[in-house]
Amino acid sequence: QSKQRRQEICQELSIPSGATSFDARGTSGVKIYVVYNPNAVKKAAGASRWTLNSQVEVIVSMDIPSSTVNDSKVRISYYGQKENAPIEGAWLYLTCVSKYLFVPDPFVFPLQTKWTWGPEGQGAVLLVNCDRDSPGAKDMDSAYQYVQSYAGTHREQTSALDLEDMSLMILRTQGPSAIFADYKLVLHISVADVNKVRVFHASGDGSLAQYKHVLGSDKRSYVVDRSSGQEEDTFYVEGLAFPDADFSGLVSFHVTLLENAPDTPIFTDTVVFRVAPWIMTPNTLQPLEVFVCSNPNGDFLEAMRALVRKANCKLTVCPEVENRRDRWIQDEMEFGYVEAPHKMFPVVFDSPRDRGLRDFAFRRILGPDFGYVTRVPPHGHVSSLDSFGNLDVSPPVTVQGKTYPLGRILIGSSLPRSDGRRMTKAVRDFLYAQKVQPPVELYSDWLSVGHVDEFLSFVPASDRKGFRLLLASPDACYKLFKEKQREGHGKAAQFAGLENVHTITIDEMLADKTLRSDSEYVQSCIDWNRHTLKEELGLTEQDIIDIPQLFMLKGSRADAFFPDVVNMIVLGKHLGIPKPFGPIVDGRCCLEEKVRSLLEPLGLVCIFINDFFSYHTLLGEIHCGTNVLRKPFSFKWWNMIL
C-alpha cells in the first residue's frame, strides 16, 4: 500500500473512546506483523495486545492472490484499561492482487528494477531497431510505428524478424478480475523517454497475431484492458535512439495500479532497460567481409582479390556508378555492432562526410539484420577530420589496473586548448555516450587530411598484449637510409621505375635540409601522440613498432612523402600494405625489407600492393580505400565494470 493509502485506512479505523490497547487477527493466508520501538512502547496485558501508540505500526501482507473480492480480512479489537473483553471492533477487508512487470531473460538479469554494470549486475537490454527487415521498406524499421512485415504468406515470418530486434516485456497480474471495476492498470513512461522507445501490445497467435502500438512516439501511458481476465500481457519494446549527449541510454517502464475516481496510485512496479551501445571493432578481430570501390588501377583490385582469398573472407566491390568516383570508403563509414542477450547484428556508422559515397551505406549496407546509424552536425559544416579514416579503436587494454575489454576509441583532433580542426561535436558526443569504449583524442591536425590512420595502425600478435601498435616514424626512416648510405647505396633512388614521377636518391634525401626539417617537426607531433597512447592505453615501448615513413610540409600541414606504409589493411595475419616504391638495394625495396623484418617475426604476412597510379593525386592509402566488417567481440559489454 502507498503511504497515502495507509493514512486513509488509519482514518477509517478510528479509535473508540476509552480504548488503550488493541490486538489484530487475520483470516487464513493473512500475515500480520507489529513494528514498534521497545524503548518507547510496552506490550499491553494479554499475549497478543499492544498499547495504542503512534510508534506502533501494524503491517499486513498476503502471499497468495485472492480468488474473489474481499475474500480475506483482519479484525482489530480494542480494549479499555481494565476490560478483558473488547469494547469495540473493526474489520479490514482485503483483496490481494499480484502484479509485476518483468523481462523474461534467463541468461543475465535476475532483477530489473534498476540497472547496474558488471558480471553481477542487473537490468534489461534494449536494441535500437535500426536495420531494415522488409526489403520493400524505404527506411529503417524504427521509422515505422508498426511491426514490419511482408505482404501475403510471408507476413508471419517477417513479423517475427522485426520482433527479434525488440525486447520482450511481460505484465503478469493475478487476482479477481472484478477488482478492476474500481481499479485500473496503467503502463507508462516519462516525458524524457517517450521518443526513445516504442512499445507494442501483442494479442492473438500465428498469422492472426496483432501488435498494437501503445507507448512511445508521443504516447506516454496505456490503460491495460483487464476485461478478459488473462494473467499475462505480452509487450515488445523497440529502441529508437542510441545513447547520446542528451540521453544516458537508460529507459524506465512503470506499471501502476490506480484506484478510480479520482485516480489514486496504490502501487507501482518498474523495469529499467539500457539501450545497447554501438561497439566498434579493432583490426585484431577476425575479418568477415572486405568492401572496396572499383578503381582505375586494375592491378589494385586483382591484388585485393588475392589478399582476401588468402585471408579467407568475402570481397564486395562497390561499382563506379554507386561510388561516383569516390573510392575512399573507409572515410565514408565505419562498421560496428549492437548486442543484447537475445540478439546481435552489425551496424554501419555513416560519417557526415557526404561525398560521392554519401548514399552507399544507407542504400547498400542497411538491410535485414544489418543496422545503420549516422550523426550530422546541426549546421551542416564538416571538415576532413569528420571522415572516418580519423576514427579507430584499440584492441582490449588494461591501464593502471583498469580494464577496457572492448578497447578504446581513437579520434584525431587538434592540440588541447588550440583553435585547430576537431571532429564535429555531434559525432564526438555520440562516441563518448556509448561508454564501453571511452574515446582518446589524439593530435592529427598537423596532417593535411588530419586522419589518425595516416600515422598509426594495430596488428595482431600472439605474445604480450596480443597486438602491436605501429607508428609512422621519420626517425626510423632516416636511420634506415643512413645505414644504406654507409653500405654504399646512396645512389639508390626513391620512386625508381615509376613513369612521370621525379626520383630522388638516398644521398639527396639525406642532404635535403627542408625535408629534414619537415621530418623533425612531424616526428615531434608523432612523439606527442606516442606519449598519449602509452599513457591512455597502458603501453610500453615493447608494444610499439616504428615503421619507416617520411612526410613533407605543404604550408603548415604534412603529407606522406611516399605511399603511407602504416595506412594498411589488416586481415588476420595477412597485411595489405601500400607499396612504398623505396630505394632498390640488392634487387629489393629496402623499405619493404625493413617492414618485413619488423612484422614477419610476429607471424604476419606482408603483402605490398601497388596503389600508386598518380603521384599528384594519390599516395597509396589502402586503409582509406577499403573497409572491413569484422567478427564481434566475444566479451559481453554489460559485464564491464564502469
CATH entry, 99-151+158-275, from 2.60.40.1700, 2.40.50.140, 3.40.50.2300, 1.10.357.10: 2.60.40.1700
The pLDDT score that the predictor gives to residue 158 is: 53
The pLDDT score that the predictor gives to residue 435 is: 97
Q: Indicate the SS3 state at residue 526.
A: helix
| pTM, rounded to two decimals | 0.89
CA dihedral 493, 588, 608, 573 (to 10 degrees): -140
The pLDDT score that the predictor gives to residue 34 is: 84
> Which of 385, 304, 343, 242 has its CA nearest to residue 628?
304
Residue 453 known to be catalytic? yes
Residue 381 known to be catalytic? no
Point out which residues pair with 589 in neighbouring strands.
584
CATH of domain 9-96: 2.60.40.1860
| Average confidence (pLDDT) over 404-408 | 98
Note whether 32 and 60 are within 8 A (CB). yes
Res 45 pLDDT > 70: no
Instruction: Catalytic residue, from 130, 201, 318, 451: name it.
Output: 451
Instruction: Catalytic residue, from 453, 518, 564, 611: name it.
Output: 453
| Average confidence (pLDDT) over 415-435 | 93
Q: Please report how many Cα atoms fall inside a 13 Å half-sphere around the Cα of residue 185, on the Cβ side.
A: 26
Instruction: Write down the mean pLDDT value for the chain.
Output: 88
pLDDT band at 177 (very low <50, low <70, confident <90, very high): confident
The pLDDT score that the predictor gives to residue 152 is: 40
The pLDDT score that the predictor gives to residue 107 is: 38
Instruction: Catalytic residue, from 23, 162, 244, 331: name it.
Output: 331
Q: Fill in the amino acid letter for 65.
A: P
Q: How far apart are CA 600 and CA 226, in angstroms?
A: 69
Tell me 175's DSSP state: S
pLDDT band at 112 (very low <50, low <70, confident <90, very high): low
Res 85 pLDDT > 70: yes
What ranges do the domains of the chain cover? Answer: 9-96, 99-151+158-275, 279-634
Architecture of domain 279-634: 5-stranded Propeller (3.75)
pLDDT band at 172 (very low <50, low <70, confident <90, very high): confident
Helices (H), 128-168: 155-164
Characterize the bridge pairing of strands 605-609 and 574-578: parallel
pLDDT band at 109 (very low <50, low <70, confident <90, very high): very low
Range in 56-60, 98-102, 232-236, 265-269 the model is least confident about: 98-102
The pLDDT score that the predictor gives to residue 618 is: 41
Res 553 pLDDT > 80: yes
> Which of 459, 453, 441 has its CA nearest to residue 571?
459
The pLDDT score that the predictor gives to residue 183 is: 86
The pLDDT score that the predictor gives to residue 22 is: 82
Instruction: Catalytic residue, from 130, 589, 606, 624: name it.
Output: 624
Residue 624 known to be catalytic? yes
Res 331 pLDDT > 80: yes
Note whether 609 and 578 are within 8 A (CB). yes
| Average confidence (pLDDT) over 344-356 | 91
The pLDDT score that the predictor gives to residue 149 is: 60
Identical fold at 9-96 and 99-151+158-275? yes
The pLDDT score that the predictor gives to residue 620 is: 55
Residue 299 known to be catalytic? no
The pLDDT score that the predictor gives to residue 285 is: 97
Note whether 557 and 569 are within 8 A (CB). no
